[in-house]
Amino acid sequence: MNFIPEQREENSAYLQLLMVVLFAIAGVVIGTLLSLGVVLMLYGTAGFGAMVSVDGSSEKYIMVMKISQVLTTACLFILPPIWLARTEKTALKNFYGFKKPQLFLVVLVILIMVFSMPLMEWIALANQKMTLPGFLKPVEDWMREKEDAAMKMTILLLKVNHAWDFFINLFIIALLPAIAEEFIFRGAIQRSFTRMFNHPHVAIWVTAFIFSAIHVQFFGFIPRLLLGAAFGYIYWWTGSLWYTMLAHFLNNGYAVCVAWYMQVHHMPLDSLDNSANFTWYQYVISLFLSIFLLKILHDKTIQTNGKQLG
């Protein structure tokens, strides 16, 4: 008699994606209800206005928005991947890949993010100058309106009135989204697409497209698409979400630090995304260094895993 249990086969990739979507919808509902409950307890009904307004009057309720941001982010992006792994009866470590980080690869990922920043700035500035044909003017106006609303929200969240606000922002805007978004996009969605298409490159770019589109910031779409693809390749090559979470945190953390620096030096935050900080030759150097470091990461992970990872 065979007492060794057979290994359970996973559900299909299509079913897994459907479950992620359903879990995400449930997460939105749970996160919204939790946010309303916490805000009601702390601020009463007056706090509800801050959850839907991004004008200057909402500044006194910045903490309300931050509470809402934490709860909705956690419920929308972290709970669905956890529930998915639970339905597959597999530990998170094994299901998504949380291999112990290697120091060399950690340093390499840090260098990639640091030296790619000028390149990403150039791409972002170019994307912001995008214009649509005349007959699509109403669409462009709508896109600009969404962009302006997102910028107002970002400026409110990035404001620092006390020393501890910087660390709160670092957690809410940099660390939590890095963990949550990599969990669901690279962990759950890219993993399912890889099984579905049986082609990692297609899975990486489709996931990166969804990752960028879901932010609904059209004049930052291309740099976010490329960042999503970079995170996707890092995850595919290393087989560990730790590295993508680190890369994502560094990218977000850089923006938080720049915003803090600007406020300390009394510079307007509305110029955060509109100014060039590097010269053209620094952009070129950044391009070649980014490619070179990504190649090293690719080659190193092939040696470490003993197989071609793509």
The answer, yes or no, to whether residue 47 has pLDDT greater than 80, is no
How far is it, in rounded angstroms, from Cα 8 to Cα 5?
A: 9
The answer, yes or no, to whether residue 272 has pLDDT greater than 70, is no
Radius of gyration of the chain (CA): 21
pLDDT above 70 as % of the chain: 88
How far is it, in rounded angstroms, from Cα 76 to Cα 68?
A: 12
How does DSSP classify residue 198? Answer: S
Cβ contacts of 282 within 8 Å, gap of 6 or more:
118
Q: What is the pLDDT of residue 257?
A: 92
Contact 247/234 with Cβ under 8 angstroms? yes
How far is it, in rounded angstroms, from Cα 209 to Cα 189?
A: 12
Lowest mean pLDDT among 44-48, 50-54, 73-77, 229-233: 50-54
Residue 35 one-letter amino acid = S
The answer, yes or no, to whether residue 6 has pLDDT greater than 60, is no
Cβ contacts of 174 within 8 Å, gap of 6 or more:
249, 252, 253, 255, 256
Q: How confident is the model at residue 229 (pLDDT cuts 50, 70, 90)?
A: very high
Joined together, the tokens standing for residue 25 give 């919808």
How far is it, in rounded angstroms, from Cα 183 to Cα 306?
A: 26
Measured from the Cβ of residue 168, the count of other Cβ atoms closer than 10 Å reads 17
Q: How confident is the model at residue 55 (pLDDT cuts 50, 70, 90)?
A: low
pLDDT tens, 273-310?
A: 666 778 889 999 999 999 999 999 999 998 766 544 44
Q: For the chain, how far is it from start to end, CA to CA, in angstroms? A: 42
Measured from the Cβ of residue 20, the count of other Cβ atoms closer than 10 Å reads 21
Rank 6-20, 43-57, 185-199, 291-305 by mean pLDDT and report only the highest: 185-199
The answer, yes or no, to whether residue 3 has pLDDT greater than 70, is no
Domain residue spans of the chain: 97-305
Q: What is the pLDDT of residue 189?
A: 96
How far is it, in rounded angstroms, from Cα 253 to Cα 256?
A: 5
Q: How confident is the model at residue 242 (pLDDT cuts 50, 70, 90)?
A: very high
What are the percentages of helix, strand and coil residues in the chain, rounded to 5?
80, 0, 20
Residue 68 backbone dihedrals phi, psi, to 5 degrees: -60, -40
More confident residue, 136 or 171: 171
The answer, yes or no, to whether residue 56 has pLDDT greater than 80, is no
Q: Is the dihedral of CA 222, 95, 71, 175 positive or negative?
A: negative
Q: How confident is the model at residue 4 (pLDDT cuts 50, 70, 90)?
A: very low
The answer, yes or no, to whether residue 154 has pLDDT greater than 70, is yes
How far is it, in rounded angstroms, from Cα 157 to Cα 231?
A: 25
pLDDT tens, 161-170?
A: 778 889 999 9
Q: What is the pLDDT of residue 12?
A: 92
Q: What is the pLDDT of residue 15?
A: 94
Report the candidate in 62, 79, 102 with the shortest Cα–Cα distance to residue 28: 79
Q: What is the pLDDT of residue 52?
A: 58
What is the arithmetic mean of pLDDT over 27-55? Answer: 77
pLDDT tens, 247-269?
A: 999 999 999 998 898 888 888 77
The answer, yes or no, to whether residue 86 has pLDDT greater than 80, is yes
**Helix or strand or coil: residue 273?**
coil
What is the arithmetic mean of pLDDT over 29-56? Answer: 74
The Cα-based distances of 54 to 105, 125, 155, 174, 296 in angstroms read: 40, 24, 10, 20, 44
More confident residue, 178 or 265: 178
Measured from the Cβ of residue 283, the count of other Cβ atoms closer than 10 Å reads 17
Which pTM was predicted? 0.89
Q: What is the pLDDT of residue 308?
A: 47
Residues in the chain, total? 310
Contact 187/85 with Cβ under 8 angstroms? no
